[in-house]
């Protein structure tokens, strides 16, 4: 099978899962965006998926992502940074991505805000104007040390502080919960993020509109609880090299 046929089949299969899960929970079929989690996948393969209609790519490793962008500058996609963020990398992240999913410190959001302001103050060409970067605060519902993110109880304050910054647009939450024993339990953890988002919107009068949750193994449970972005690696591209 050619890489194009492979990409077409895999993309169709994942889109069908998203559609079924959306329908089952009475949500519009375009309410959930598919992000291809493309770490460790070749730019050749990724390009075939984009040709078949994939519009968003999520990368974990900054240098790997920059290499891919350089190899394929004409790839028209939205780039999402979904890895752990080191504060000394924020400038390059601001330059190369439209979405940053793993924000868990005010310092990171402040730096990203500042970098966008600096880019826009030094433009040679106004077409290069950089719009605000979309941020998602990462939640860590299982309190795992190996993962980034904050406790749910700390989210209201961090959101409040970030939403005061210019040049960044706080959009919602991202999380990577542990696998639960069954789908009901899996849904509960996703539901807790959705509920928190509602509460913060009401209490703070802001409009967070995205939940980045759901991966290959749990996208159905995430969509049932209101996910708006699923990040799919293995079930889309295949095993990572």
Using CB under 6 A as the criterion, which residues of the chain lie in contact with ligand PLP when the complex forms?
A: 37, 39, 60, 82, 176, 215-217, 231-235
Kindly state the smallest distance separating residue 67's Cβ from ligand PLP, in Å: 17
Residue among 176, 167, 106 nearest 147 (CA): 176
Kindly state the smallest distance separating residue 169's Cβ from ligand PLP, in Å: 20
Q: Between 167 and 173, name the residue whose CB sits nearer to ligand PLP.
A: 173
Q: Between 19 and 39, name the residue whose CB sits nearer to ligand PLP.
A: 39
Q: Between 48 and 163, name the residue whose CB sits nearer to ligand PLP.
A: 48
Q: Between 39 and 95, name the residue whose CB sits nearer to ligand PLP.
A: 39
Kindly state the smallest distance separating residue 109's Cβ from ligand PLP, in Å: 18
Structure tokens at 82: 């979904």
Position closest to ligand PLP via CB: 233
Q: Between 142 and 157, name the residue whose CB sits nearer to ligand PLP.
A: 142
Kindly state the smallest distance separating residue 235's Cβ from ligand PLP, in Å: 6
């Amino acid at each position: 099978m050619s890489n194009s046929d492979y990409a077409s089949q895999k993309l169709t299969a994942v889109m069908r899962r998203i559609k079924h899960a959306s329908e089952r929970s009475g949500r519009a079929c375009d309410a959930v965006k598919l992000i291809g989690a493309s770490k460790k996948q070749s730019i050749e393969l990724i390009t075939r998926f984009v040709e078949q209609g994939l519009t968003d790519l999520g990368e974990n490793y900054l240098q790997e992502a920059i290499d891919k962008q350089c190899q394929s500058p004409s790839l028209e996609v939205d780039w999402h940074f979904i890895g752990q963020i080191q504060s000394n990398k924020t400038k390059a992240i601001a330059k190369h991505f439209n979405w940053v999913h793993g924000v868990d410190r005010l310092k990171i959001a402040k730096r990203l805000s500042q970098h966008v302001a600096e880019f826009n103050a030094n433009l040679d060409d106004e077409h290069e104007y950089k719009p605000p970067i979309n941020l998602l605060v990462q939640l860590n519902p299982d309190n795992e040390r190996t993962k980034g993110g904050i406790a749910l109880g700390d989210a209201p304050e961090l959101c409040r502080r970030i939403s005061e910054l210019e040049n960044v647009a706080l959009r919602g939450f991202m999380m990577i919960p542990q696998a639960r024993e069954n789908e009901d339990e899996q849904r509960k953890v996703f539901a807790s993020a959705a509920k928190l988002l509602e509460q913060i919107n009401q209490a703070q009068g802001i409009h967070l509109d995205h939940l980045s949750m759901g991966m290959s193994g749990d996208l159905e449970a995430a969509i049932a609880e209101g996910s708006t972005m699923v990040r799919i690696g293995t079930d889309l591209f295949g095993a990572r090299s």
